[in-house]
């Protein structure tokens, strides 16, 4: 396995008196597509916020490329880690190309203007994300799936080596769900990009991720390949759900089928 580019060691985090993350440990190697799964409120988003530097940890250590996260300046951190949130704040009045151009900010000085190289990087990010066709449209006029692609394009323009995704398929129809994850997977295969994604849909997580980390009560209780993590026992214990698990006919990955508690008439 490649060298670890992200290590989370005994990290705890709280909102007031409510502990969300509890001595959590996690390690990610270069080029991996890692899925963070677990029930609502288990700390998936909180963990990604910590790695992105937007939330402070109570204790523990986060290492990014062997450097302690809190020793990096915001610009240094942004050159290594990009973050695509679940519900991005849409800057009013900006067109798509301007939004993607914001991804170059970590590489610019205080009074610097974007160079021809920066513009080229932005156009390449637009091309890779399939957003060139609406680069001149206002961001507020796009659909949910299109907006998700734009913010992935902005993350690509940031040229970070680690991309964090918070529920990238939330609120999207099935076509956009696979489209967004296919986009990320294709980009990862073309580069050494490392992807860490909080994913609600277990079947999609199994299909796209190399390894899964299952969070229960703020700690990783199971990690491994999708087949090792997504089992009937684990899902019943952590989610409280009865399921049937079958293998995907094409990818041979787990497909999770919920079992209704209703009594057939």
User: Which two structure tokens, joined as six digits, stand for 143?
Assistant: 């659909």
pLDDT tens digits along 159-182? 999 999 999 888 778 888 888 899
Q: What is the mean pLDDT of residues 97-108?
A: 92
What are the extents of the domains in the chain?
Answer: 4-258
The yes-or-no verdict on residue 111 having pLDDT over 80 is no
The yes-or-no verdict on residue 265 having pLDDT over 50 is no
pLDDT tens digits along 200-219? 999 999 999 999 999 998 99
pLDDT tens digits along 122-137? 999 999 888 999 999 9
The yes-or-no verdict on residue 92 having pLDDT over 90 is no
2 exposed, middle or buried (CB, 10 Å; 0-12, 13-18, 19+)?
exposed
pLDDT score of 264: 45
pTM for this predicted structure: 0.92
| Helix intervals (H) in the chain | 44-52, 74-80, 96-101, 116-129, 144-157, 174-190, 202-208, 226-229, 232-239
State the virtual CA torsion across 95, 100, 104, 109 in degrees, nearest 10: 20
Spatial distance between the Cα atoms of 145 and 131, rounded to a whole number of angstroms: 11
Classify domain 4-258 at the CATH class level.
alpha beta
User: Which two structure tokens, joined as six digits, stand for 42?
Assistant: 């288990």
CB atoms within 10 A of CB 164: 25
């Amino acid at each position: 396995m490649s060298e670890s580019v992200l290590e989370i060691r005994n990290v705890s985090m709280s909102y007031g008196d409510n502990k969300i993350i509890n001595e959590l440990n996690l390690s990610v190697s270069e080029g991996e597509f890692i899925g963070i799964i677990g029930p609502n409120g288990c700390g998936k988003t909180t963990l990604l916020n910590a790695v992105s530097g937007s939330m402070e940890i109570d204790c523990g250590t986060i290492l990014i490329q062997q450097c302690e996260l809190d020793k990096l300046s915001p610009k240094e951190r942004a050159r290594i880690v990009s973050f695509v949130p679940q519900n991005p704040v849409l800057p009013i009045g900006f067109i798509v190309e301007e939004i993607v151009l914001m991804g170059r900010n970590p590489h610019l000085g205080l009074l610097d203007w974007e160079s021809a190289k920066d513009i080229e990087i932005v156009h390449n990010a637009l091309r890779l994300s399939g957003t060139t066709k609406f680069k001149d449209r206002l961001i507020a006029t796009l659909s949910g799936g299109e907006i998700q692609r734009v913010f992935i394009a902005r993350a690509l323009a940031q040229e970070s080596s680690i991309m964090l995704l918070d529920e990238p398929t939330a609120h999207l129809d099935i076509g956009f769900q696979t489209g967004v994850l296919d986009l990320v997977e294709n980009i990862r295969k073309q580069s050494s990009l490392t992807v860490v994604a909080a994913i609600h849909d277990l079947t999609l997580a199994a299909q796209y991720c190399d390894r899964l980390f299952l969070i229960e009560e703020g700690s990783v209780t199971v990690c491994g390949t999708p087949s090792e993590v997504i089992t009937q026992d684990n899902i019943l214990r952590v989610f409280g759900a009865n399921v049937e698990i079958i293998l995907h006919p094409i990818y041979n990955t787990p497909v999770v089928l919920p079992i209704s508690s209703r009594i057939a008439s």
